[in-house]
A and B are shown apart, each in its own frame.
Chain A
Amino acid sequence: MPGRNIIEEGKHVLVRLPSEAVKVILLKGDSYISLGKFGTFSVTGVLGYKYGQSFEILENKLVRPVYSLIDDTKPLLPEDSNTFSENNQNLINTGSLVQKLSTQDIEELKKQGKGEDIINQIIAGHDSFGKKTQYSQEKYLKRKQEKFLRRFTIEYLGGSEMLQYYRSKDPQRVLDMSSESMGLILSYANIRPGGNYIVVDDTGGVLLYAMLERMENKGSILVAHENEHPNLIALKYSNYPQELLEKMVSNVNWLQFLEADTQRPQWKDYPQEKIDSFTPSRRSHYLRKKRASERVNHILDTVEQGSFDGLIYASTIYPSTLISKILDTVGGSRPVVIYSPFKEILSETFHVLQNDHRILAPSIYETRVRQYQTIIGRIHPLMTAKGGGGYVLHATRVIPKEGGVTAVGRGIKSKRLKVIDPKADTRQLLKQ
């Protein structure tokens, strides 16, 4: 897969820092990227490495490749090299007095060089470091690493990374969607090359971007939206060429979608002589309008055909009232996947769908990933994690039998009698 392997100039990438913060940056050749307190590096230094490579910032904005950002598997301090306490009995909180180095000293050190040296000096300047327990020393060191290690990792900006970036900035912007919920949506929606999907995306295009990644340039997506133009802000970081996006992604607003009869652009070609007589700017304006109306009509045609390969819904518009209006556009045996940060909203929708014969077996799923510390001998779940993550409703669009069909179950006998012999009921009543 070209483009996803090697760090190249001109691409948007994800930068991961020891503090677990993430950034999206554009790798412009001959430019410098500032990572705030972690330092500044020259873009040329990272080009040509594989995605996933970690670097350390040296003097003069140069970098050197390092094995990893932080090694999470072994204790940071070798077992026998340090003094430590069995417990914290003798550890007394003296506030800032415990550190011999002043803030100014540390600032000075930061200007000079390597993060490891700073950390070593801070430890040397720490009066009661030896009075901490081994576990406490580890935690202290890890905090200092997150702060002073001038390291970073460059990762390919895929769907998960884009989601992580936006979620860390402001969870609401991606409807608090977790990466595991996104994975579940993409699996249940059966996203694959060649599909023709309809998506309602209030994550600013993050979900759309993740879908495109699973389609590998094949198929199409119709974005239905509530404003005059769709908000697909995340696509500005995508490394897809504009032509490809235009080819695969089209959009329609709810007015056009739900009232297609009255919203179709009526287009009549002018006679060729008249077009020939236009000034060049008038002609290009005319052709642009013609193309636009053709495009809208084409989109409305596909809506009317009603054969989308899946409906993917992650919107703040109340799904309970909207979904039934768009169900007819989804093909038989195709998935309907609705995401919401709130289980209550999906519960309402569930009830609506349960009474709709075009829908089979709705279920609400909740998926949560719990991360563990991986230091051997000290494996336990992390003490804190992100809350939220959202819920996913999945159902299948089906085609009910015309005229209905009697279910087998309670009351089948009397229902059958009703169907087979209209007098049966009276006879039964007379018997009673």
Chain B
Amino acid sequence: MSFLHYKDIIEEGDLVMAFISRNDIKPVIAKSGATLNTRYGVFPHDLMIGARYGEQIASAKGYGFIHLLQPTPELWTLSLPHRTQIVYTFDSSYVVQRLRVLPGSRVIEAGTGSGSFSHAFARTIHSNGRLFSYEFHRPRYEEAKGEFEIHKLDNITLTHRDVCTNGFKVDGVDVDGDAVFLDLPAPWEAIKHLDEVVAKDRRVSICCFSPCIEQVVKTIEALTANKWNGIEMVEVSGRKWEAHREMVRDVDEAVARLKDIKKRAAAGLARKRKLNKISDEVDNEDADIQPDEDNDISSEEPSGKSETEPNLKSDQKSNQDTKDRGYNPFGKGKRIREGDPAYKWINVTRSEPEVKSHTSYLTFAYRNQ
């Protein structure tokens, strides 16, 4: 039961989350003789069996690597096969905290969907708790059932049922739920069926998860009509940040560079005129134009660094890199690695390019009757 218990060494039959890259995490059941093919190489399962969870392993060819991670509900959420829109960790972690889901809790979840949240509930309620999960879509139910079995989540009771019409009762079991999570298109149709399955001897909390405000309105009406109180509606907005370094491009250096360019241009012009003069003298002896010395303002050095810096930085191989650009404080035209110690950097954070700006509204309520 690796979602519920810690383990150190990978054995035959264990679930391993093969971390290939941030966006590519593959769940693998370690099986002697099998292989995992990735774009970073081929990884025989025999390399995994006997390895420690967390270990980095190289491919059969000796280069390219993956990390062998222990399954957690959060990793599973990133890797699972999507059958429906799933509940992500920002929402699920808040719901678990708000509904006070704890070891031993008896949770009602409808529908099961892709089973992402089921894993998080199962982890927290642990061995002595129970999750009653309901799914009305037959193929999704079958898939989730198989998944829970493989993941040895035996604290989940999965039922194939449309709770809106047939309610939550489970044969031979007193559901006695103390936390309810409804992720349904019409939670208001299911709320009236909750009376017969929620705990009577303690406070019961509920969260309805709906993307539209119209659904929220109907949900609030149904909750009020069914004696749920303390209604609160919130929205969770989560954001993931990456730390980066941004080059500090000081204006003084830009000015120095401009001066350098100007000086070099003037020098180039003078050289060109000199050349022209020589050829003119050959062609036509009348024309005799002197370059205007007074206009050459860049005779002073732009900065003490200008002579040495470009040489220090230009020990790179590509052709464009070696092209002399004069004073080049920001590495123009070079391929510069973020954080290159030859330049000045400031630490910054950058949001993901695309964010989940809305997942669903979360309507919470309690029942004390």
User: Contact at B245–A360, with CB atoms within 8 Å?
Assistant: no
Give the Cβ gap from A199 to chain B, nearest Cβ, in Å. 17
**Given known contacts A53-B368, A370-B235, A399 and B241 CB-to-CB distance under 8 angstroms:** no
Chain B interfacial residues counted at CB < 8 A: 80
Q: How long is the Cα–Cα vector from A66 to B84 in the complex, in angstroms?
A: 41
8 Å CB contacts to A: which residues of B87-115? Answer: 89-90, 92-94, 96-98, 100, 102-105
Q: In the complex, which of the residues A187, A332, A333 has the most CB atoms of chain B within 10 Å of its own CB atom? A: A333
A294 close to chain B: CB less than 8 A? no
Q: Tell which of A216, A334, A400 touches B56, judged by Cβ atoms closer than 8 Å.
A: A400
Asked whether A396 lies within 8 Å of B69 as measured between CB atoms, the reply is: yes
Known: A180-B236, A347-B243. A160 touches B349 (CB 8 A): no
A367 touches B238 (CB 8 A): yes
Contact bitstring B332-346, A, C-beta under 8 A = 1, else 0: 000000010000000
Q: Which of A4, A215, A354, A379 contacts B216 (CB 8 A)?
A: A379
A46–chain B nearest beta-carbon distance, Å: 13
Q: Mark contacts of A57-71 with chain B using CB atoms, 8 A cut-off: 1 yes-contact digit, 0 otherwise.
A: 000000000011101
* C-alpha spacing A179/B236, complex, angstroms: 12
B219 CB to closest chain A CB, in angstroms? 10
**Nearest-CB distance from B215 to chain A (Å)?**
12
Contacts A332-B52, A396-B69, A401-B56 given; does A188 touch B89 at CB 8 Å:
yes
Contact assessment for B232 and A371 in the assembled complex, using a CB-CB cutoff below 8 Å? yes
Partner of A215, one of B8, B103, B361: B103
CB distance from A184 to the nearest CB of B (A): 5
Name B172-214 residues within 8 Å CB distance of A: 201-203, 213
Alpha-carbon gap, A169 to B4, bound state (A): 36
> When the two chains form their complex, are residues A214 and B102 in contact, meaning their CB atoms are under 8 A apart?
yes
Q: Across the interface, which residues of A come within 8 angstroms of B229, CB to CB?
A: 67-68, 71
Residues of the A chain whose Cβ atoms lie less than 8 Å from the Cβ of B308: none
Report chain A residues within 8 Å CB of B90.
Answer: 180, 184, 365, 367
> Looking across the interface, which residue of chain A has its beta carbon closest to that of B120?
A187
Q: How far is the CA of A53 from the CA of B90 in the complex (A)?
A: 29
- Give the residues in chain A near B220, CB-CB below 8 Å: 73, 374, 376
Q: Chain A nearest CB: distance from B290 CB in Å?
A: 46
Closest chain A CB from B232 CB (angstroms): 7
Decide if the interface of chain A is mainly helix, strand, loop or mixed: mixed
- Cβ < 8 Å to B, chain A residues 380-432: 381, 391, 396-401, 405-408, 412, 415-416, 419
The interface residues of chain B lying within 8 Å CB-to-CB of A405 are: 56, 58, 62-65
Stretch of A36-44, A134-142, A189-197 contacting B (4+ beta carbons < 8 Å): A189-197
Chain B minimum-CB-distance residue to A366: B239
Q: Does A369 contact B (CB under 8 A)?
A: yes
* Cα(A218)–Cα(B89), bound, Å: 25
The B-contacting residues of A in range 1-56, CB under 8 angstroms, are 1, 4-6, 50-53
B56 touches A408 (CB 8 A): no
Task: Give chain A residues whose Cβ lies under 8 Å from the Cβ of B221.
Answer: 376
- Cβ of A291 within 8 Å of any chain B Cβ, yes or no, is no
A361 to B17, CA, bound (A): 14
A412 touches B63 (CB 8 A): yes
Contact between A364 and B52, CB atoms less than 8 A apart = no
Q: Is residue A351 contacting chain B, with contact meaning CB distance below 8 A?
A: yes
Q: Is B123 a contact partner of A192 (Cβ separation < 8 A)?
A: yes
| A166 beta carbon closer than 8 Å to chain B | no
* B230 sits at the interface (CB 8 A): yes
Contact of A160 with B100 in the complex, beta carbons under 8 Å:
yes
How far does the alpha carbon of A221 sit from the alpha carbon of B334 in the complex, in Å?
51
Tell me whether A187 and B92 are in contact (CB under 8 A). Answer: yes
Contacts of A363 in B (CB 8 A): 240-242
> Do residues B54 and A396 form an inter-chain contact, with CB atoms below 8 A?
yes
Q: How far is the CA of A307 from the CA of B52 in the complex (A)?
A: 12
Partner of B238, one of A5, A216, A365: A365
A50-B203, A401-B57, A407-B64 known; A68-B236 Cβ under 8 A: no
A138: shortest Cβ distance to chain B, in Å? 16
Residue from A5, A159, A364 in contact with B241 in the complex, judged by beta carbons closer than 8 Å: A364
With known contacts A187-B89, A216-B102, A398-B67, A364–B240 Cβ distance under 8 A: yes
A-B contact pairs, 13 of them (CB 8 A): A50-B203, A160-B98, A183-B97, A188-B89, A216-B102, A335-B72, A347-B347, A366-B238, A367-B238, A396-B19, A396-B67, A396-B69, A406-B64
Nearest 5 A/B pairs, CB to CB: A332-B54, A183-B97, A333-B54, A350-B243, A216-B103
Q: Which residues of B contact A (CB under 8 A)?
A: 4-6, 8, 19, 22, 39-41, 52-58, 62-65, 67-70, 72-74, 89-90, 92-94, 96-98, 100, 102-105, 120, 123-124, 126-128, 201-203, 213, 216-217, 220-221, 223-224, 229-243, 245, 339, 347-349, 361, 363, 366, 368
